[in-house]
Chain A
């Protein structure tokens, strides 16, 4: 990751210096040079250019992670494009720990089965439909 960053960063910096728009910015059709709403939203954070580079790297990182998680590469681009900068950051940092809503069947050890059964009966959990 670090090595990639070292190779990629100069190009990114150069491309920004040449005034190309960042990936997320929607260029205004009518008035040039407007600060986009996304930029204003992110303006609380520090240095803008540095932020943008980190953003692009984070997006690449999320792309790679999605492919590694078995997402079809042809779907990845659109999935990442629909995420906000903040969401990209979260996924880049902790996709592995994020809750993934699935409701898989508990392939349970007996003890786990019993404990969850009791907590179900106490109304603390909702694992087994027959306890209701």
Chain B
């Protein structure tokens, strides 16, 4: 009799334990927003013109893409996007292919920092933010893409286009608990020339560079100009700008950009090498050789290449 009672208490006990553990983890507390976010952003904002695309079975990836693309004036139907991003074998869409599909439609995907502040900043600037959530728990995942289109700081709410529900409202705490399980993955899709609000750096340059390899230098040029304008001291920004300019025939401007890159980073062998080649094509032979010699003097995989170019003369 006694034994039986202990046994019957086991299941509720285990359940209680689970609940306590969950409570102690405290994931559902509202994520901290920095003071600057609270003071600089409007109290509430909703991006109005994000058309809603409802998902069918498993199609939240294509639906999410359809929404962010349409907002930037690149409409694509869910049916058109499915063969571009959906993986039948996984019954879902994976993150790299979400970004790749954005590139194919002429927009640059920028992954933004995994902080609530960063999401709100983008939304306040009228950019819908695509997010990956795990709606369930790590051991029983339900991965889901959705689009954050609005927020209310005072009431700690977010507005999402999600699944079959347009403009669904969710508490920031609950959202953050589900978002944290994807390591808070989020991106904005912007036309070349526009940059994320959040701090930019090397990763921003990489995003533009990948876009350029898909869409070509001419299409990517405004993005490099914007990046170099906002981060003039970022060597990779000047380098990327230099290459895009050289590829579109603007050799003098290209040389200027490469020069700025080596001023910022004197051991940037690739920039010295490109500076040398562009100057040579402009007929400035002496300066070209100086630059190539600098490239040849920096140990690394480009050293030999620079020496070969020097020998060509």
Q: Do A and B come from one complex?
A: yes
Interface of A with B (CB < 8 Å)? 24-26, 28-41, 43, 47-48, 66, 68-72, 75, 78-79, 81-84, 86-88, 90-91, 95, 98-104, 106, 112, 115-116, 118-119, 122-127, 129, 132
Which residue of B217, B239, B244 is within 8 Å of A40 (Cβ)?
A: B239
Count of B interface residues, CB-CB < 8 Å: 87
Closest to B244 in A: A37
B89 to A69, Cβ gap below 8 A? yes
Q: Report how far A28 CA is from B250 CA in the complex, Å.
A: 12
If the complex has contacts A29-B249, A129-B165, are A34 and B100 also in contact, measured as CB distance less than 8 A? no
Please state if B95 and A99 are interface contacts (CB–CB under 8 Å).
yes
Report B37 CB to chain A, min CB distance, Å. 22
The 7 closest A-B pairs by CB, nearest first: A100-B92, A69-B89, A70-B88, A102-B92, A82-B100, A87-B96, A123-B28
B100 contacts which of A38, A79, A124 (Cβ < 8 Å)?
A79
A-B CB pair tally, cutoff 8 Å: 217
Residue in B closest to A75 when the chains form the complex, CB atoms:
B83
CA separation between A100 and B210, bound complex, in Å?
A: 22
Is A30's CB under 8 angstroms from B246's CB? yes
B55 within 8 A of A: yes
In the complex, what residues of A have CB within 8 A of residue B239's CB? 37, 40
Residues of B within 8 A of A112 (CB): 140
Q: Which residues of B contact A (CB under 8 A)?
A: 18-19, 22-23, 25, 27-28, 55, 57-58, 60-61, 64, 83-85, 87-101, 103-104, 132-137, 140-145, 163, 165, 170-171, 173-175, 177-178, 182, 205-206, 209-210, 212-214, 216-217, 236, 239-240, 243-244, 246-249, 251, 254, 270-271, 273-274, 277-278, 281, 300-302, 305, 309
- Kindly list chain A residues whose C-beta atoms are within 8 Å of the C-beta of B305: 33, 35
Complex: A90 Cα to B185 Cα, angstroms: 16
B240 engages A103 (CB within 8 Å): no
Known: A30-B251, A123-B174, A129-B165. A100 touches B90 (CB 8 A): yes
Contacts of A24 in B (CB 8 A): 213
**Within 8 Å CB of B60, what residues of A?**
101-103
User: Bound state CA distance, A95 and B240, in angstroms?
Assistant: 30
Closest residue of chain B to A34 (Cβ to Cβ) is B274
Contact B55 A103 (CB under 8 A): yes
* Separation of A48 and B213 alpha carbons in the complex (Å): 18
Q: CA A84 – CA B212 in complex, angstroms?
A: 10
Contacts of B236 in A (CB 8 A): 37, 40-41
Which residue of chain A is the closest to B87 with respect to CB atoms?
A69
Tell whether, in the assembled complex, residue A124 and residue B22 are in contact, meaning their CB atoms are under 8 Å apart.
yes
Q: Are B251 and A31 in contact (CB under 8 A)?
A: yes
User: What chain B residues lie within 8 Å of A101 (beta carbons)?
Assistant: 60-61, 64, 92-95, 98, 132, 143-145
Question: CB distance B96 to A90 under 8 Å?
Answer: yes
Q: Can you list 28 A-B pairs with a CB-CB distance of less than 8 A? A: A26-B247, A28-B243, A31-B274, A31-B277, A31-B281, A34-B278, A37-B239, A37-B243, A38-B212, A40-B239, A72-B83, A78-B84, A81-B214, A82-B100, A82-B101, A82-B214, A83-B96, A87-B96, A87-B99, A90-B96, A101-B64, A102-B91, A122-B22, A122-B23, A124-B137, A126-B170, A126-B177, A127-B136
